[in-house]
Each structure stands twice: as structure tokens, then as C-alpha cells.
Structure 1
Amino acid sequence: MVVDKNTTINEILNTYPEAIKFFNEKQMSCSSCFAVKFDTLEN
């Protein structure tokens, strides 16, 4: 998978579940947010 600014957070977490640690370290609650289905890296 190529990750770029248009990749959704959901796509990243589904492909790389270990990425949740990165988002948590940045104090981003991506695993519990409803917006992961449409928010991209650019957002």
C-alpha cells in the first residue's frame, strides 16, 4: 500500500494496525474517532 496525503486514517489503520501507537503518541484518538472513515493524512 502506498500511503500519501489522500490516504484515509481508516485505510492506514486497517493495513498497519501498529500505526495506532504512532497516532496515540501524537495525542490523536484515531482509534475511537468516527472521522477515520473519511479523514485523510492531509486533514
Structure 2
Amino acid sequence: MKLLPNVLDRPLSKGKQEVSLSAFSFLFSELVQYSQTQVDNIA
């Protein structure tokens, strides 16, 4: 049976920047809400 490496022994980065979908969705929704408060009309 192969032992899995300890969580603390694994590197933090996987080589490329990764952001969870939920975090991206939250930031996107905040950006949309902020931009909607900054405009007077959409047209």
C-alpha cells in the first residue's frame, strides 16, 4: 500500500495560479455590484 504524502509536506503552489470558482464568483459579483452603484443610468 502506497502512503500518501502528508498535507504539510506537499508544496503550497501547483506551479500555476489557481483561484477557486467560488472565490472568482464572489469577486466578480462584488465588482458588478460596485460598478452598478457608480453609474446613474445604463444607457
TM-score class, shorter-chain normalisation, is under 0.3
Higher relative contact order (CA 8 A, sep 6+): 1
What is the TM-score with the length of structure 2 in the denominator? 0.24
> Larger Cα Rg: Structure 1 or Structure 2?
2
